[in-house]
A and B are shown apart, each in its own frame.
Chain A
Amino acid sequence: MNAAVAERLLLEADKSAELANAFRTVADAEADGQPKFTEVICRDLVRTVVCRVYALPLLELCHLIRAADGCAGGYEAFFWGGGPARAGAFRGYAERNLVSLPGIAAAKTGLKLDYPDGTFTVTYSRMPFLSAMLEFLVTVIGYRAVDDVIEPLRARGATGKQVSNAAKELASQLYAYLKEHLSSAQSQRKFRRLIAFLDRAADESPDAIDDALILDFWLEESASDKGADFKTFRAVYLAFLRFIQALAAAQNRDGLENVKVLGADRSAGEVEPHELEYGLETVGETENPLDKLADDPCSAVRFLTKTEARSLELLVESDTVADRLPLSVLRCEVFGAAQARITQGLRRRLAPDAFLALIDDSVAQDYAECRARFSALAEHVERSLLASFHALAEAGRAEAITVLLRLRPDLDYSSLAAHFAVTGPEDDNVIPFAPHGVAARFATLLAATDSLTEPLRNFVTDAKTAYAGLSRQGFRDRDMADPAVAGGFAAGEAPLFALRTRLSAFGQVLARAGGDDAAYGSQFERDRILFLRQFRVLYGADI
């Protein structure tokens, strides 16, 4: 590498770092001593900016700023004076502080703005994200610049055209910033190294990517002098994961012969990232069940602790790729965590002896323990679903039936048929359909357990026991009366089943791939020697 190339790469890295720092500034923002934005919102923000799909959010934001400026204290107080950015907080703030202005009203679902050519509503649930977007804008463009752009919106009777112009101006300023700071040089470099390795090791066939190949790549590349892109095993695994996911999405959409490249050079067949939005969605960026459980309305129930959610992150992020690379997932969980401990030790500047001891003691669990942790999480999800059934049935929610049928599809439900017989004139060709009525009848039926078959009665009892056994928010008897909690259980059913499916599939793959604990034990011992040796190679010179 010559000096000019090295300098360019370093400059590119600095630019990327500034953007990453801006995202971290948003993630670090606090309100009332708490994180202002949830992790889900922060991830959405990163995705929206990196994929350059911010045009519509900026238009929504400008409408919202116009409405928010109608609140006492102006738009600044609306976005920064109301505590952590949550839908309920924005709703409460608007209801308390919205001054009567023509054409702006607080509706049940959001703030409604009337214009001569139509109405625009910004929902309360959308506001936390838009608030993060504004926080990001004032971080990268500056408050004065943003305030100058939106100044015309603050006047009474601002038009839809003015709102649209302000959104375009913000988009233009953001585009200019990203042109300087959203550098893909590092990602391109990583991509080229993956391809070059595949070319050498596997005749460039992506199908050849397996656990052994990923480990070989890490052993070969982590100690190279080409920067820190692949120093950690986790970074290597994530790169291969993204490679496989990007390839699969491209295959799904256009076939391999039409694989597109991100970029602005249309003559070279490149496409803008927003045109690949479909592909990004297909790899789970918007349907992550952990994000759903952490966000409203599910967050009214504490289905998972932070530690539990963190333990599931990689598995969920990997989706079905985890089933193809089970050992790599275990290596990430066990040795990736060990490597994180070592890098923390580096920051603490430990004495050489203490640092070498830290490397030797860095591995805190083996594969059997890691499998046991996943099994325990699977059991917890199962218990949460059972408890959800109890809560939903008690609340008379129709979702209880869905949970029952999905948890126990093989039960004999014929005895219930008589209770749900549709009544009405025989010659009437209209079938009465009242799902809420069915749910209420179902709840009554469950309460009178004598009329249930034994398996169904056992299920109801198990569900009640599961509910009583969980003592976290949403699972206490006093939570039952809270409609938000019932809503949380109703919304939580789908992501919980998604987690159940993922954990179950991965558990089966681990059982098939590695066999018994003894086999995993010997695999772990081989890996431990190999990883510790590599850790000493990687970090020995740093002490």
Chain B
Amino acid sequence: MFEALDMIDTAIEPVATPRRVGFSDLYTFANDPDRDMAPELAEALARDEALEADLIRLLDRTAIYRFPKVAAASSGPALRRDGDLYRITLRPSRAEPTQIYVIIELADLEMPPPALIYVCRSGRPCHKHQLPVAHDGTIQILADLGSPLVEALRDGQAEVYLR
């Protein structure tokens, strides 16, 4: 019994260490549109493959649509992802070469449109972006070529979730 009591004392002994990242943080990131990925969460995800896989499972469970990795990715960047109900296209801006349009087309106008897009690449922080309102089944974002969202979407090995 001494051992049990002592282990309890040791386990609950207050220590002045930084707050630890756990599943609650994953859930908040995956569900709170206003919460970007905190640096400590990004660091924990980069360090812990199991935690990263938990995030993917969580997004998988809560997303309304998931685009798998682009099959047999070519050597060039991915410019289009086709799904049953959605399509994502990257179209360079003619007016401004440093910018690009991210266009999400919705095939089923009866379904509520997605409000968030997540792009996850193995070993890198997941990127989350709030989507503007859809017009006639199309959501359009004008982004910088070098923005994290565009960079991630151009990676054929990235998984994309809409929710």
Does residue B76 face the partner (Cβ distance < 8 Å to A)? no
In Å, the complex CA distance between A188 and B1 comes to 11
Does residue A491 face the partner (Cβ distance < 8 Å to B)? no
Q: A43-B12, A47-B8 are in contact. Are A138 and B23 (CB under 8 A)?
A: yes
Q: A76-B27, A81-B31 are in contact. Are A187 and B2 (CB under 8 A)?
A: yes
Does residue B110 face the partner (Cβ distance < 8 Å to A)? no
Q: A76-B58, A276-B1 are in contact. Are A24 and B20 (CB under 8 A)?
A: yes
Q: A76-B27, A143-B54 are in contact. Are A246 and B10 (CB under 8 A)?
A: no
In Å, the complex CA distance between A31 and B24 comes to 8
A143 touches B4 (CB 8 A): no
In Å, the complex CA distance between A51 and B3 comes to 10
A135 touches B23 (CB 8 A): yes
The 6 closest A-B pairs by CB, nearest first: A187-B3, A246-B1, A80-B27, A143-B54, A242-B5, A187-B6
A182 touches B7 (CB 8 A): yes
Q: A31-B24, A36-B24, A142-B50 are in contact. Are A76 and B5 (CB under 8 A)?
A: no
B5 touches A283 (CB 8 A): yes
Cβ 8 A contact of B7, one of A29, A50, A344: A50
Q: How many residues of B contact A (CB 8 A)?
A: 33
Which residues in B have their C-beta under 8 angstroms from that of A242? Answer: 2, 5-6, 9
Interface 1/0s, chain B 143-156, versus A by CB < 8 A? 00000000000000
Query: Which of these binds chain B: A15-23, A159-167, A373-381?
Result: A15-23
B22 touches A25 (CB 8 A): yes
Interface 1/0s, chain B 50-65, versus A by CB < 8 A? 1001100110011000
Q: A43-B12, A144-B53, A182-B7 are in contact. Are A279 and B1 (CB under 8 A)?
A: yes
- CB within 8 Å of A: which residues of B? 1-12, 15-17, 19-28, 31, 50, 53-54, 57-58, 61-62
In Å, the complex CA distance between A246 and B6 comes to 10
In Å, the complex CA distance between A139 and B23 comes to 7
A24 touches B17 (CB 8 A): yes
Q: Is the interface of A mostly helix, strand, loop or mixed?
A: helix
Min CB distance A86 to B, Å, is 15
Which partner residue on chain B sits nearest A46 by CB separation?
B11
- CB within 8 Å of B: which residues of A? 16, 19-21, 23-26, 28-31, 36, 42-43, 46-47, 50-51, 74, 76-77, 80-81, 135, 138-139, 142-144, 147, 182, 184, 186-188, 190-191, 238-239, 242-243, 245-246, 249-250, 262, 273, 276, 279-280, 283, 285, 344, 347
Which residues in A have their C-beta under 8 angstroms from that of B54? Answer: 138, 142-144
B2 touches A246 (CB 8 A): yes
A46 touches B12 (CB 8 A): yes
Which residues in A have their C-beta under 8 angstroms from that of B24? Answer: 29-31, 36, 80, 135
Min CB distance A436 to B, Å, is 41
Which residues in B have their C-beta under 8 angstroms from that of A276? Answer: 1, 4
Which residues in B have their C-beta under 8 angstroms from that of A147? Answer: 57, 61
Which residues in A have their C-beta under 8 angstroms from that of B31? Answer: 77, 80-81
Which partner residue on chain B sits nearest A317 by CB separation?
B9
B5 touches A246 (CB 8 A): yes
In Å, the complex CA distance between A125 and B50 comes to 32
A-B contact pairs, 20 of them (CB 8 A): A30-B19, A36-B24, A46-B11, A76-B27, A77-B31, A139-B22, A139-B23, A143-B54, A143-B58, A144-B54, A144-B57, A147-B57, A187-B6, A187-B10, A191-B3, A242-B5, A246-B2, A262-B3, A276-B1, A280-B5
